[in-house]
Amino acid sequence: MYTKIKPILPGLILSVIVAAVSKGLAIFFPEIGGATIAILLGIVLGNTVFRQKSLSQGTKFSESRLLEYSVVLLGFTVTFQTIGQMGLKGMLYIVCIMTITIVGTYFLGKKLGFNDEMSLMMSGGNAVCGSSAIGAIAPAIGAKDEEKGQIITLVNLLGTVMMLTLPFLGMALFGDHLLAKSALIGGTLQSVGQVVAGASLDNPDVVQFAMLFKILRIVLLVLVVIIFEKIIANKRQNSQMLVASKKKKLPIPWYVLGFLIACILNSFIQLPAIFDQGAHFFSTWFETTALAAIGLRLDFKKFLKEGPRFLLYGLGVGAIQTVFAVGLIYLLKF
């Protein structure tokens, strides 16, 4: 057991320390907040002092697992009554923005000379849940590992830029309108971590509602994979790949199921107050530690290697998402 945990400890401990320092600094800089400080401090340290390979397993664990645990715990602070505040408009918004993102990203990729596989991975990664969506889509459409790595890098770069800019755009455009700001962040940012980090730049209520919009996108991952799978199969006129892939069932991510179960329990059972308090405490710590790890793992050198065509693709997709998200929010009158 210890042999499995040992490689994780250095990066995990570093992430916890950065999170603790960030929470301490947030006392003196409350307008910035611990979450923002954690990811910014992580970026600085990860690209200067802490570049050792021995830290990678622990920071990866912190980035992925702790954030997943945070999402599950978030379910104990949410009820169906809370979700109901999104209404049918919220669901319609997610379906529309995902469709626009997929179609716009795919055709922009083709215009810039990217193949079907890379364009579809970029579409799914931005429309659904970043690297996780790309990881699910890549084998279904037969993408190469090198292509997958390039698109994951590009999606993470775009997500980081949008994470640090969209919250301020939302505050400028929508002021105190909670659902509008949450829809902008939860409906566009690529990964769960980026949604949490971006929403944390505003306030805890935005984190909660932005995650609800994000959960709706994640739930639709299965449908996106099936559609992309059929597109590639039809283009190649090869039904064998489609038949083979049907044998592999793609479940909803475990943390989404955990979130839903926790939400159901919290909605229909009167849980002791300690559940809400404890879930909030641990969720906040897991979240801050995960954000510190995201910063520590962000390598700017990799982004610069991808070249101007990739960066142009990223900027174009970001513009499509932002413009149409803002337009839909005004159109649907959140």
Question: Is 81 or 181 the better-scoring residue by pLDDT?
Answer: 181
Give the pLDDT score at 284. Answer: 79
What ranges do the domains of the chain cover?
2-332
pLDDT for 220 beyond 60: yes
Q: What is the 3-state secondary structure (H, E, C) of 83-106?
A: HHCCHHHHHHHHHHHHHHHHHHHH
Closest by CA position to 128, among listed 157, 160, 101, 158: 101
- Cα 136 to Cα 29: distance, rounded to the nearest angstrom: 40
Among 96-110, 215-229, 237-251, 263-277, name the most confident range: 96-110
pLDDT digits (tens, 9 = 90+) for 24-44: 998 887 666 677 688 788 888
Q: How far apart are CA 130 and CA 306, in angstroms?
A: 18
Instruction: Look up residue 270 and give its DSSP letter.
Output: -
Q: Where would I find the H helices in 112-190?
A: 116-124, 130-141, 145-174, 178-186
Cα 215 to chain centroid, rounded: 10
The length of the chain is 334
136-155 pLDDT, tens digit per residue, is: 788 778 888 778 777 877 88
Give the position of tokens 């490689």: 7
Query: Which token pair is 78?
Result: 């949410």
Residue burial 65-79, b: 16+ Cβ < 10 Å; e: rest? bbbbbbbbbbbbbbe
Task: Give the CB-side neighbour count of residue 159, counting CA atoms within 13 A.
Answer: 28
Q: How far is CA 236 from the centre of its chain?
A: 31
Give the largest CA-CA distance in the chain: 62
Closest CA to 151 of 178, 165, 133, 166: 133
| pLDDT category of residue 246 using cuts at 50, 70 and 90 | very low
Percent of the chain past pLDDT 70, that is, above it, reads 89
